[in-house]
């Protein structure tokens, strides 16, 4: 790896620690996934900066601090089966794939999904299964999930179907709110009847969670 990239990477990891990310497994996962592989050619010099970047189809790869916060909030274990809604470029899925047994991820833009799948294949990531679809419906054939992560913002509450597809004791991490005023929340399922503990984590800015498959 060129020295410059190594320095940028170290700087990012220090910034994440300083911002309160203490989970060493999460930090190691961020360190080992080459974020530059997931961004367009012209943005590669910025790949190790702590910022969101455009990835095409009007979508963005999340800021590393947000990826780290969401990943840590899931309390991932190597036995977990995880659902991700919003594959985007596949970066968050690749980070999770290092920490859990299997990731099922859904993206509504087919071109983004195809590019993500080919990156994951090139990187030799074998425990991610990706489909094009509407993640608001979850993935009934694979449910229930130990953990669920939604990387696009729900307007009010999380889609009820996703809460249903979560195992008791599991976490669902999701940004909630309208444009400009969103907060990251973690819902922990406390009973099969649907009691949830809710924790606010961080103010964030995500693209909206939209219904149906995109027409591109
Ligand atoms: N986790 C991604 C972040 C991508 S941005 C990454 O690491 O790059 C959020 C993504 O959610 C966008 O690609 C958007 O198209 C997708 N999305 C929005 N609503 C969706 C839905 N209902 N089902 C599936 N994907 C959705």
What CATH number did the domain enclosing 21 receive?
3.40.50.150
pLDDT at position 16: 98
User: Phi/psi of residue 100, each to 5°?
Assistant: -125, 175
Instruction: Find the residues whose C-beta lies inside 6 A of ligand 1.
Output: 59-62, 85-86, 88-89, 91-92, 106-109, 112, 134-136, 151-152, 207, 209-211
* Residue 78 belongs to some domain of the structure: yes
Between the CA of 57 and the centroid of ligand 1 the distance, in Å, is 10
Asked whether the CA dihedral 77, 79, 84, 87 is positive or negative, the reply is positive
3-state secondary structure of 215: coil
* Residue 83 belongs to some domain of the structure: yes
Range of the domain at 189: 4-204
Convert the pLDDT of each residue in 142-154 to its tens digit: 999 999 999 999 9
pLDDT at position 180: 76
> In this structure, are residues 212 and 108 in contact, taking their beta carbons and an 8 Å threshold?
yes
* Residue 210 belongs to some domain of the structure: no
* Residue 61 belongs to some domain of the structure: yes
Candidates 84, 88, 148, 150: which one to mutate for ligand 1, based on the most atoms within 8 Å of Cβ?
A: 88
* Residue 214 belongs to some domain of the structure: no
* Total domains present in the chain: 1
pLDDT at position 205: 95
Ligand 1 atom at minimal distance to the Cα of residue 209: 19
177 vs 59: CA distance, rounded Å = 17
User: Phi/psi of residue 66, each to 5°?
Assistant: -70, -40
193 vs 91: CA distance, rounded Å = 34
* Residue 178 belongs to some domain of the structure: yes
* Residue 185 belongs to some domain of the structure: yes
Q: Is the pLDDT of residue 9 over 90?
A: yes
* Residue 211 belongs to some domain of the structure: no
Ligand 1 atom at minimal distance to the Cα of residue 135: 23
Both structure tokens of 12: 């990012």
pLDDT at position 4: 85
Convert the pLDDT of each residue in 13-62 to its tens digit: 999 999 999 999 999 999 999 999 999 999 999 999 999 999 999 999 99
Mean pLDDT (the chain) is 97
Q: What is the DSSP string of 178-206?
A: ETTEEEEEEEEE--TT--EEEEEEEEE--
Between the CA of 213 and the centroid of ligand 1 the distance, in Å, is 11
Convert the pLDDT of each residue in 96-144 to its tens digit: 999 999 999 999 999 999 999 999 999 999 999 999 999 999 999 999 9
């Amino acid at each position: 790896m060129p020295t410059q990239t190594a320095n940028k990477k170290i700087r990012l990891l220090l910034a994440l620690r300083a911002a309160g990310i203490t989970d060493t497994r999460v930090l190691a996962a961020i360190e080992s996934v080459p974020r530059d592989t997931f961004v367009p050619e012209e943005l590669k010099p910025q790949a190790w900066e702590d910022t969101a970047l455009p990835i095409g189809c009007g979508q963005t790869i999340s800021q590393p601090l947000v990826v780290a916060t969401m990943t840590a909030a899931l309390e991932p274990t190597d036995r977990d089966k995880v659902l991700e809604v919003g594959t985007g470029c596949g970066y968050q899925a690749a980070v999770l794939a290092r920490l859990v047994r299997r990731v099922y991820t859904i993206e509504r833009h087919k071109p983004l999904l195809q590019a993500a799948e080919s990156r994951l294949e090139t990187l030799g990531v074998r425990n991610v299964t990706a489909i094009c679809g509407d993640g608001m419906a979850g993935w009934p054939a694979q449910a229930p999930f130990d953990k669920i992560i939604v990387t696009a913002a729900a307007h009010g509450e999380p889609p009820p179907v996703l809460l249903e597809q979560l195992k008791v004791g599991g976490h669902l991490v999701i940004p909630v709110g309208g444009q400009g005023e969103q907060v990251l929340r973690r819902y922990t399922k406390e009973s099969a009847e649907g009691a949830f503990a809710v924790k606010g984590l961080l103010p964030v800015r995500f693209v909206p969670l939209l219904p149906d498959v995109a027409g591109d």
